[in-house]
Amino acid sequence: MDFELTDEQKMLQEAVTRLVADTYGFQQREHALKTSDGWSRQAYAGLADMGLLGMPFAEEDGGFGGGGVEMMIVMEALGRGLMVEPYFATVVLAGGVLRYGASAEQRAGILPGLIAGEHILALAHSERGMPRHTLDARTTATRDGEGWKIDGRKIAVIHGASADTLVVSAQTGEGPGLFLVNTAAEGVAVEKARGYDGVPVADITFSSVAVPAAALIGDAGQSGAILARTFEVATAALVAEAVGAMSETFDVTVEYLKTRRQFGVAIGSFQALQHRAVDMLMELELSRSMAVLAALSLDIDADQRTRNISAAKAQIGKSGRLIGQEAVQMHGAIGITAEYKVGHAFKRLTAIDALLGDRDYHLARLVELRGVYPAAA
Amino acid sequence: MKLDFTAEELAFRDEVRAFLKDALPGDLRQKMIDREHLDKADTVRWQRILNARGWAVTHWPVQYGGQNWTPAQRYIFQEEMALAHAPEGSPFNVNMIGPVLCRYGTDAQKENFLAATANIDIWWCQGFSEPGAGSDLASLKTIAIRDGDDYVLNGQKIWTTQAQHADWMFGLFRTDNSGRKQQGITFLLLDMKTPGITVRPIETIDGGHDANEVFFDDVRVPVGNVVGEEGKGWDVAKHLLGSERSGIARIGLSKERLSQLRVLERRLAGDGTLTQEEQLRLAYKLAEVEVELRALELTQLRVVAADAHGGGANAAASILKVKGTEMQQRMTELVTELAGPAGLAVTDHDHHGGDLDTGWLGAAAPFYFTMRKVSIFGGSNEVQKNIIAKTMLGL
């Protein structure tokens, strides 16, 4: 049992934390949000230059072969900066599908550009009228000569409008599959929107979009397993990002309690606020523990892995809400001002709970699995 | 980073398991499972079995009978004790006065008390709280006035746990009123048979009698019974309250209670007590509790691992007492909910007979009521939060 980072991991942590602090302050983020993309290509290139986009990919694919702990380190740092760039969309979600499902040819075709930061990908999976977190899809892919034709509508595709390539889940006659679709292909209609957390999303309609046979990732019928594995890794990543956002929010709030003066004293001298700040600290530390648990669970046996990751997501759903709400409340009116960072962290924490199954979803899954502790029962 | 214990740690765990399987008397184990009240003889018997193995006072320095265990070993030992339904020794002996004497005691005090304390040949009680000095402990008023080679004590202590069984008391007494209230407090040891001491029982909401008032009426205590220096008792008390943290969240106890809840869940679903809806609600409540217990367990392990690297103040350690006590209390709440109206008729305090067939029903609520104390004693959770706000957050 050991919770120390290795020297290499410490270096990674220092480097990425400094990069975010130096180049992605609140002003830079605000500026990025106002661009036509809604995010900063320059900031994303900074992540690429540091090699972070290749972090989870195998060395033979041009990556660095990083594991759960490395992912945790990076996502926590990005969470601290509330970065809206497509790291999660491209590297974690679409990249996860590529890692767990794509052929060597597909990986060779896509990963060099992805790792260089030149090729943006997004996962188009959620649909209206479906459970909010599911492996299933209603969009269809029908055989069309050698290739396929895709029809359907996807919602809330994270970074869908910026993506060069979409990974689209669709029902084939032979079971659900995942397809690589060029966003510029005929029949793809993208409606761009801005997420309340600042991250761009899009609704995307596919009308008889023709894709070649080589666009299918893995075999038809395999998408459930590929997505399940991808979502586990992505959930662990979101948990770490939440810890970063919570840490930053907590630090800013404690600082505010020390500097904001009312009634002639710093408001942090009031016990009502001190105890609530301690409640925030407790939620933060519990969440940090669960981010570690999730990061260390990615390669253990499936049963315990699922329990651990669901427990972690359930924890940060609760902690993120408490920390976000309390941070806003303790800042008073400044907390609900768009010009101040805390409100944006609150919004991102709200979005993180909603993504990949909220607290209720993961509690339900744990109920189904008869709890967090398999042996305890 | 890695989650697993090392091969050596796992071997140690097996050694502890084997010992407990062999050495824990069956009747004591059953009393623990049944949530029965342990009497003094039970606690003494088990402590002596542990002591014979060298495991009664493992976190004391080795020369006084401790084991040079790593934080991970200490954690494993405590968890295995709880999961095996082994009683804990007297906390006053093992966790409080023992470590204090190891650190501050004179040679004579060590000689007279340490071995007897480890073996519970002496049963200690703690004289800290007073009617006007609870959370604000330093405002204590029970006075000790020097008279020749003695102090003469007058005043009152309260909430003194198991004073009725105690051979000796360690306590805080005021020897000087002139400075700050933390100054002028002296840590004294006193024989409970000394003339002028009166112990009066306080019945608590669980129906039991663990708490007492202790009155001092011209009680003479030799000056050789001062621990540390006269007037420096506050430092000694702080050491006593802040030393051991490898088991502070009491994860093992909560896990043991969780496994009892899972047994009851199955039983009450099977015998028709719980409706389908109630079963589902219970399953959700247990899932929520387990998520938090898992998070707390990992937090405790992070502290254990950090202590192996030298420890020091850390935010994770500071939350363990508050969250750990809340967790222990939550478990007893859930058992009481499960008992429902069938749990109204309580059994006699000393004979709960709380077996898992029917006796647990009468034991559930008293146990829930008694566990309210864990967030109050040893520095209430509110005081803990004050300390965290000051020391960790700088507020």
pLDDT of the residue at A377: 39
Q: Which of B349, B249, B261 is nearest to B302 (CA)?
A: B249
Domain boundary among B212, B234, B256: B234
Task: Measure B113 CA to nearest chain A CA, in Å.
Answer: 37
Burial of B358 (0-12, 13-18, 19+ CB in 10 A): exposed
Render pLDDT for B191-202 as a digit per residue (tens, 0 to 9): 999 999 999 999
Taking CB atoms and an 8 Å limit, are A289 and B385 in contact across chains? no
CATH label, A224-368, candidates 1.20.140.10, 3.30.365.10, 3.40.50.2000, 3.40.50.1000:
1.20.140.10
Question: Is B244 labeled as catalytic in the residue annotation?
Answer: yes
Name the superfamily (CATH) of residues A123-220.
Answer: Butyryl-CoA Dehydrogenase, subunit A, domain 2 (2.40.110.10)
Sign of CA dihedral B376, B377, B378, B379: positive
Instruction: Tell the residue number behind the tokens 């222990």, with chain if given.
Output: B328
Do B227 and B163 fall within a single domain?
Answer: yes
Residue A287 confidence class, pLDDT cut points 50, 70, 90: very high
Q: What is the mean pLDDT of chain A?
A: 96
Q: Which domain holds residue B312?
A: 245-391
Beta carbons of A372 and B293 less than 8 Å apart: yes
Q: Which of A258, A269, A311 sits opposite B291 (nearest CB)?
A: A311
Which residues are CB-neighbours of B150 under 8 A, at least 6 positions away? B220, B221, B222, B223
The pLDDT-based confidence of B348 (bands split at 50, 70, 90) is low
- Say yes or no: B256 and B179 in one domain: no
Contact A371 B287 (CB under 8 A): yes
Residues 53-72 of B with CB under 8 A from A: 72
Residue-wise pLDDT tens digits, B366-384 = 899 999 999 998 889 999 9
Q: What is the average pLDDT across B10-32?
A: 96
Under 8 Å between Cβ of A350 and A197: yes
- The Cα A124–Cα A188 span in angstroms is 12
Count of the separate structural domains present in chain B: 3
In chain B, % of residues over pLDDT 90: 78
Residue after which a domain boundary falls, among B215, B234, B253: B234
Residues B260 and B370 occupy one common structural domain? yes
Distance from CA of B135 to the nearest CA of A (A): 15
B133-170: pLDDT as tens digits: 999 999 999 999 999 999 999 999 999 999 999 999 99
- Do B171 and B77 lie in one domain? The reply is no
What CATH number has the domain bearing residue B284? 1.20.140.10
**What confidence category does residue A376 fall into, taking pLDDT thresholds of 50, 70 and 90?**
very low
B138 and B227 in a common domain? yes
State the CATH number of the domain containing residue B211: 2.40.110.10
- Mark yes or no for CB contact B2/A289 under 8 Å: no
**Cα–Cα distance for residue pair B309/B317, rounded to 1 Å:** 14
User: Is the domain of B251 the same as that of B387?
Assistant: yes
Q: Where does a domain end: B207, B234, B261?
A: B234
Average confidence score pLDDT of chain B: 92
Q: CATH homologous superfamily of domain A7-119?
A: Acyl-CoA dehydrogenase/oxidase, N-terminal domain (1.10.540.10)
